[in-house]
Structure formats: C-alpha cells, structure tokens
Amino acid sequence: MKRVAVITTFVDLLEAFSLCQVVSTQLKSLLGAGYSTTLVACDGFRPNGVFAHPLLRHALLPPHHLDGDELAVQCPQQFRAGVAAIKERLAPVLDQVDVAITHDILYLPHHLAFNHACRELAAERPRLRWLHWIHSAPVEHRSLPEEDPRSARFRPFPGALFVYPNAYDVARVARQYGVGPEVVRVVPHPLDYEDTFDFHPFTRALLRDHDLYSPAILGMYPLRLDRGKQPEKAVRLFAQLKAAGHSVRFVIASFHSTGEHFVRYREEVREEALRLGLTEDEVVITSRLESLPGLSSAAMAQYQVELPRKVVMDLFHLTNVYVHPSASETYSLVCQEAAASGNVLVLNDDFPPMRELHGADAHYVKFCSTLFHTTYHPDETAYLRDAAREVANALQSERVVRQKTRLRRTRNLGVVFRDHLEPLLHA
C-alpha cells in the first residue's frame, strides 16, 4: 500500500474556499481506502473535520507566501532563505512516503518558494512519484531563462504528472508547463454527498451497505405498511425495469409498521420481490434491517420503528424516480417533496386527485385505487412492462434528472477515487 503526502499551503480552513473541499474529499478517499496519509500545511493550521482524522498524520511548513513572483527576482536572498526553510521541514516527510500530491503549488505565483522546494527535493529523490493538481485556468507560457526563479511556473517537473479536472484544457495545461499532453491526467472533482447534504448516520450506513450510488434507476417509497399504499405495485414496476436491463434499487422506507399485520404484509411484499427476481439489495425494506455498519443495535431497533424524516429527505437527494401507487390519498406531502427534490413522479392514474395536484408534469400508471379498478389486457405484467419502458424513457429524456443520475453514479467519492485518482498512485 502506497504512503501518500498531500501537500498544501493551508493556514486556515475556510468553508467557502473550494480548494479546502477538494482536499478534504481527497483525504477522505485516501483514508477510507486504507492509505497511510500525511497532510502537509503551514504553521498556524488548526485541523477539524476530516483534517483532524485520528489516522491522518500532520506536518507543518513555514509559510512563505509572496505578494508577487517578481519578489523572487527583486529579493533573491530572502527568497532562497524561504526555499531552504521549506526544504528543511519537508524533506523528512518525503523520506517517509511513496507519492507526493501537491495542490496549486506549481501554479500560483505566491507559492513560488514551495514550487522551488518541491523541485529541488524531487531531484534528490528520483523514486518518489509526484502528482501536481492544477486548480486554476492555465496561463500563457512564458519563455524565461532557467536562472530566473519565475520560470519554475512554466517548466516540466521530471517524472511527475499534472492533474486537471477537465479534459478540454489538457492541451493548454501541457503548453503552460512545456510538456506533452500525455503527462496531463484528468481527475474530476467528486461530490461528497454525505457531507455536502449532511446525511443522517442511518442514510450513510444504508448508502454504503446497499450501494445506492450505482443503480441507473433508484427509487424510494416512505410509508406505513398499510395495504392501501400498495408497495407491491411499485415492486412489480421495478421488476419490469430490471427485466428491461436497467440496474435498479428500491428502498421501502417503512415506519410505524411493527404490528403483526404490518409484518405479515411486509413479508408478502418481500417474497413477491424475490419471486420476481429482485434481490435483497435491489428491494430494501428498512424496517427489516437488523444491523448496518457503524450503528448500534439499540439505534437500529429504534429505526425499525421510527425512521427519521431526515433519512427520507436525504434519500431524495439520491433518487431519480418517485413511484406512488397508493390507492387513496388526501394530498400526499411526500409526492411534493419528491418533485421538489428533482425526481420523476410516477403517480396512480386510477386516483384522479393525483392529476389535479400534479397535472401534466407527472407520469401516470394505472395502479388501481379505491375509486377505479383497472382490468389489464392481456395482463398486469404486460401492462407494467410497457409502463416501465415509458418510465425509463422519461428518465433519459428529462435533462435535469439525467444529470442528477449521472452525478450520483460517476461523481461520487468512491467512483472518482477508484476510477481516476487511485490509478495515478500506482501508474
């Protein structure tokens, strides 16, 4: 397992500073994957959050931030003293790692002393791998003589890779540093759903244990397990979506459903899901869950009875479709919440108040109701097969939903680390 140093010039952690967010996601990914990780910051740095993780090592450098890189030319002795001081403290850190990751050190003019220190230390450690994250738009390449200290912002870094968050600018980054485009790699910035939306501990555990990031179609139905809610109808629709080749997850977020008749109904729904070819991961009934990683048995016993409303709202940040087959409603606040959270609504066409409330902005499936009972031709399975095709088409045609789905599947912390960042550690 590689040992990694993440080198920053942080003195303060500022919530609004996007680079702090980027580094925090990188640290969380490295630590979560078991990498021995050292964070390098500057004197006066006070860690919190993941920056204070018990497994994270810390090292501090003397701050040497220039108001402009021309000062390196105007005050060469002062500049060289700053480089030497940084090298003295950074050298023992680099002797203990295999990979050094820097953030904007090779780009920003006021970080020029750190740039020089890294270059000089790298020349003495040819086996050390360097990955240089560039967080700003590339600048015009300046042809400065090598003895000019400012030229370090426009020179190659032997044996290193430059990392940028979009592919369009790869050629521009390469031109700035005088390297070939093959030396520039693309790593998009991930979205840390759990921290960004302040997910409840139950949501975090459920998300990881049942892999709610990866499915093409993710739905959730919060309900008390009354038969009038008809969750089996949604299960049948998801079975047809799976049969059509889509990866699916459907969470039945059940609460106040511990009575014997509720449990009996819950098991009927579960058995039907299994019979239709849906696995325990593809249809998750929260009141059946006896354990989740990191949660106590006492907490799980409570969640089997009363699922926090926060969990429902958390899950709506992840889901892309909300199926509501209920046979009778007065209004249904949850439909409104699902729509406000950017989900495609699939409502019961056999219950007319749904059309009054949500009109043509929802999709309608005949699930039967207390007002109308549809007779399916030739049968319900064939009807739901067609309905599933329409739902899948809606998920593809509605751009906002398609974007939401793409972000969940390809920009979550785990996928960005596994597919983009981690390979660079071993390249």
Please tell me whether the overall predicted TM-score, pTM, comes out greater than 0.85 for this model.
Answer: yes
Distance of CA 25 to the CA centre of its chain: 9
| Per-residue model confidence (pLDDT) at position 362 | 97
Q: In this structure, which amino acid lies at residue 100? A: A
Packing angle of the helix pair 201-209, 297-305 (nearest 10 deg):
100
DSSP 200: -
Quote the number of domains for the chain.
Answer: 2
- The pLDDT tens digits of the residues spanning 218-258 come to 999 999 999 999 999 999 999 999 999 999 999 999 999 99
- One domain, residues 200 and 342: yes
Q: What is the dihedral of CA 147, 153, 156, 162, to 10 degrees?
A: 160
Looking at the structure, tell me whether residues 151 and 202 fall in a common domain.
no
Helix (H, G, I), strand (E, B) or coil at 261: helix
Report yes or no: 264 and 227 within 8 Å, Cβ to Cβ: no
Indicate if 157 and 221 belong to the same structural domain.
Answer: no
Claim to verify: residue 107 and residue 142 sit in the same structural domain: yes
- Across residues 203-228, what is the average pLDDT? 97
- Tens digits of per-residue pLDDT, 379-415? 999 999 999 999 999 999 999 999 999 999 999 999 9
Indicate the pLDDT class of residue 15, thresholds 50, 70 and 90: confident
Provide the domain limits for residue 293. 195-410
Residues 405 and 421 occupy one common structural domain:
no
CB 130 within 8 A of CB 28: no
Same domain, 164 and 229: no
Asked if 260 and 215 sit in the same domain, the reply is yes
> What pLDDT is attached to residue 146?
87
Rounded mean pLDDT, 164-179: 96
Return the number of other C-beta atoms located less than 10 Å from residue 1's C-beta.
Answer: 9
Q: Minimal CA–CA distance to 319: which of 206, 151, 232?
A: 206
Q: What stretch of H or E contains 346? A: strand 344-348
Secondary structure (3-state) at 16: coil
Q: Order of strands, edge to edge, in the sheet holding 363-365?
A: 283-285, 248-254, 217-223, 321-324, 344-348, 363-365
Please compute the mean of the pLDDT values over residues 160-180 and round it to a whole number.
Answer: 97
Mean pLDDT across the chain: 95
96, 173: one domain: yes
Three-state SS at 147: coil
Residues 108 and 222 in one domain: no
Question: What CATH number is attached to the domain comprising 262?
Answer: 3.40.50.2000
- What is d(CA 157, CA 176) in angstroms, rounded to the nearest whole number? 12
Structure tokens at 37: 């990780």
Please state, as a whole number, how many other Cβ atoms lie within 10 Å of the Cβ of residue 91.
Answer: 14
pLDDT at 48: 94
User: Is a pLDDT exceeding 80 seen at residue 73?
Assistant: no
Tens digit of pLDDT for each residue in 268-321? 999 999 999 999 999 999 999 999 999 999 999 999 999 999 999 999 999 999
User: In sequence order, which ranges of 321-421 are alpha helices (DSSP H)?
Assistant: 333-340, 353-358, 380-397, 399-410, 413-416
Does 270 lie in the same domain as 181? no
Local confidence band at 67 (pLDDT 50, 70, 90 cut-offs): confident
Same domain assignment for residues 270 and 401: yes
**Is there a contact between 23 and 45 (Cβ–Cβ < 8 Å)?**
no
Distance CA 34, CA 277 (A): 35
Residues written for the chain: 427
Residues 311 and 339 placed together within one structural domain of the fold? yes
